[in-house]
């Protein structure tokens, strides 16, 4: 029996004896992941519900959940047998099977989980992009994305660069910072080990937050906008459609890996060049990615008379989470993405999974329309080319050619498997608030709950005319799918 049929059977068996309501209940704990729970019966009982799902108070639409395509992810998956790799890709992307990912991110050129630095045109002063080439991506990113599209042809894609070509930057280097000024830097907390890593950038050419590293001249703005156009067109020739771009990943952060700092005003100026070219291609432009809790940076773009008309949304990540609630209130019609899951330290432990849940709640409750994980797959230990160990949905043991799904994968799946594109976040009330709720376009309701305590917890959850009375296992995540 395949997984889709099995879930359908479980849903039918989970029908209350006194009602035609169908309820599916799945739980994940540190010891058991994605465990189908016993039949949940409907109970009508006195007493105040611990939580009420307000079906008549829909919030923002949810465009979807997803992950990121990067080179080291594809390399790790290809250390497995073809059968195992395809099983993972089906689990991640095939509708109705596993994670149901529907919207994903990719880099424009190199990112920190690339094999090495590269851009699509490193020919100095090639303003006409005569030497533009995506040859590097034909080896890694393109097969990765095409493999995902094989399982979900409707998968949506958006892209952002980590650095422009080096000749477009004042320091003529892909990085914005030397190796933290210390060739023996280590940090256990963040899983960073810079010993022996040397990006070749001298400290006198480092960038700084609040400065423009991109050359602020018209011919460079025009060339960079053309660079984006060539990127979109080249991928379309590969039958890959990219529907949205953001102009710069973490534009405030001077990093030892590919990066480029900009002033918000500099990005506004560039968007005035980028916007018309993307508009002609039917590609949206978002502002981002925002990694600071400074709403004035967003205001700079949205109040600029030239750039504002082209900006359809904003992407937030890391400390940018501190700005999303204010921006959502100030610009309620603006599309907001959580553009990158905070990446952990390579341990992939339950503690970080719980932290990820707090991030998901924060972003979604404060207006995010989509939520993206970062590393899809990494070799065990998850270390980048530039020495940063990070978490991933899948870890690959390259020695034994085996793999495992990590805790954060199951947490993502607790939402993405059940919450369909165009679902609406639902407002909730009551004393218990460690939950999220959604209504799908078909009217089904999804409730995701964490029991963070070390003891089992019984709850009364009111969902319309239904009252759920589950006994949640200690230290667990639980999803309820309710179909009338």
**Tokens 């019609």 appear where?**
333
Please indicate, yes or no, whether residues 71 and 36 belong to a single structural domain of this protein. Answer: no
Please indicate, yes or no, whether residues 478 and 336 belong to a single structural domain of this protein. Answer: no
Please indicate, yes or no, whether residues 168 and 227 belong to a single structural domain of this protein. Answer: yes
Q: Tell me what pLDDT residue 3 has.
A: 43
Please indicate, yes or no, whether residues 181 and 206 belong to a single structural domain of this protein. Answer: yes
Residues 6+ apart with CB under 8 A from 32: none
Label residue 48 by pLDDT band (50, 70, 90).
very high
How wide is the angle at C-alpha 332 spanned by C-alphas 326 and 333, nearest 5°?
140
Please indicate, yes or no, whether residues 122 and 156 belong to a single structural domain of this protein. Answer: yes
Please indicate, yes or no, whether residues 82 and 212 belong to a single structural domain of this protein. Answer: yes
Please indicate, yes or no, whether residues 431 and 416 belong to a single structural domain of this protein. Answer: no
Q: Does 13 score more than 90 pLDDT?
A: no
Domain of 406 in residue numbering reads as 64-421
- pTM of the predicted model over 0.85: yes
- Structure tokens of 395? 């870890």
Please indicate, yes or no, whether residues 140 and 249 belong to a single structural domain of this protein. Answer: yes
- Structure tokens of 173? 């280097």
Of 248, 216, 212, the residue nearest 109 (C-alpha) = 248
How many angstroms separate the CA atoms of 185 and 194, rounded?
5
Q: Does 90 score more than 70 pLDDT?
A: yes
Of 166, 38, 151, the residue nearest 100 (C-alpha) = 151
Note the pLDDT tens digit of each residue in 393-426.
Answer: 999 999 999 999 999 999 999 999 999 999 999 9
**Cβ 71 vs Cβ 107: under 8 Å:** no
**Cβ 30 vs Cβ 353: under 8 Å:** no
Note the pLDDT tens digit of each residue in 156-204.
Answer: 999 999 999 999 999 999 999 997 544 455 677 767 776 667 899 999 9
Of 15, 19, 11, 17, the residue nearest 36 (C-alpha) = 11
Residues 6+ apart with CB under 8 A from 351: none
Domain final residue pick, 369, 404, 421: 421
- Structure tokens of 186? 């280590």
Sign, CA dihedral 268-271-276-279, equals negative
Please indicate, yes or no, whether residues 224 and 293 belong to a single structural domain of this protein. Answer: yes
Domain of residue 104, CATH code? 3.20.20.80
Note the pLDDT tens digit of each residue in 463-478.
Answer: 998 899 999 999 999 9
Please indicate, yes or no, whether residues 72 and 22 belong to a single structural domain of this protein. Answer: no
Domain final residue pick, 402, 421, 440: 421
> Number of folded domains in the chain?
2
- Structure tokens of 398? 């390259």
How many angstroms separate the CA atoms of 18 and 277, rounded?
59
Sign, CA dihedral 450-382-200-125, equals negative
Please indicate, yes or no, whether residues 177 and 243 belong to a single structural domain of this protein. Answer: yes
Residue 107: strand pairing partners: 160
Please indicate, yes or no, whether residues 55 and 77 belong to a single structural domain of this protein. Answer: no
Note the pLDDT tens digit of each residue in 288-338.
Answer: 999 999 999 999 999 999 999 999 999 999 999 999 999 999 999 999 999
Domain of residue 479, CATH code? 2.60.40.1180
């Amino acid at each position: 029996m395949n997984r889709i049929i099995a879930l359908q059977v479980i849903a039918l068996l989970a029908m209350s004896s006194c009602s035609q309501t169908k309820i599916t209940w799945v739980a994940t704990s540190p010891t058991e992941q994605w465990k189908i729970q016993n039949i949940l019966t409907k109970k009508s009982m006195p007493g105040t519900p611990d939580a009420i799902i307000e079906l008549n108070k829909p919030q923002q639409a949810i465009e979807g959940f997803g992950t990121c395509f990067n080179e080291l992810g594809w390399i790790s998956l290809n250390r497995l047998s073809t059968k195992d790799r395809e099983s993972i890709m089906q689990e991640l992307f095939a509708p109705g099977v596993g994670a149901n990912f529907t919207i994903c991110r990719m880099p424009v050129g190199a990112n920190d989980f690339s094999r090495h630095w590269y851009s699509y045109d490193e020919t100095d002063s090639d303003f006409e992009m005569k030497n533009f080439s995506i040859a590097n991506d034909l080896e890694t990113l393109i097969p990765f994305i095409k493999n995902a599209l094989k399982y979900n042809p409707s998968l949506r894609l958006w892209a952002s660069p980590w650095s422009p070509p080096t000749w477009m930057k004042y320091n003529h280097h892909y990085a914005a910072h030397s190796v933290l000024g210390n060739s023996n830097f280590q940090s256990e907390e963040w899983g960073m080990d810079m010993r022996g890593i040397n990006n070749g950038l001298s400290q006198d050419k480092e960038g700084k937050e609040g400065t423009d590293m991109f050359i602020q001249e018209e011919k460079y703005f025009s060339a960079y906008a053309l660079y984006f156009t060539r990127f979109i067109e080249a991928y379309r020739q590969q039958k890959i459609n990219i529907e949205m771009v953001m102009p710069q990943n973490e534009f405030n952060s001077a990093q030892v890996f590919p990066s480029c700092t900009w002033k918000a005003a500099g990005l506004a100026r560039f968007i005035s060049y980028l916007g018309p070219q993307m508009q002609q291609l039917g590609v949206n432009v978002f502002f981002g990615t925002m990694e600071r809790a400074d709403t004035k940076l967003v205001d700079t773009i949205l109040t600029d008379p030239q750039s504002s008309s082209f900006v359809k949304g904003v992407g937030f990540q890391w400390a940018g989470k501190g700005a999303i609630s204010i921006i959502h209130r100030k610009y309620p019609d603006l599309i907001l993405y959580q553009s990158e899951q905070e990446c952990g330290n390579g341990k992939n432990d339950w503690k970080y999974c719980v932290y990820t849940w707090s991030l998901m709640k924060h972003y979604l409750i404060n207006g995010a329309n989509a939520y993206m994980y970062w590393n899809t797959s990494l070799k065990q230990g998850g270390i980048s080319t530039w020495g940063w160990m990070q978490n991933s949905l899948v870890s690959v043991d390259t020695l034994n050619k085996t793999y495992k799904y990590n805790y954060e994968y199951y947490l993502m799946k607790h939402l993405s498997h059940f919450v369909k594109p165009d679902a609406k976040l639902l407002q909730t009330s009551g004393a218990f608030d460690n939950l999220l709720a959604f209504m799908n376009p078909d009217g089904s309701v999804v409730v995701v709950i964490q029991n963070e305590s070390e003891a089992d917890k019984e709850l009364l959850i009111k969902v319309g005319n239904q009252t759920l009375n589950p006994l949640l296992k200690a230290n667990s995540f639980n999803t309820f799918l309710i179909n009338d």
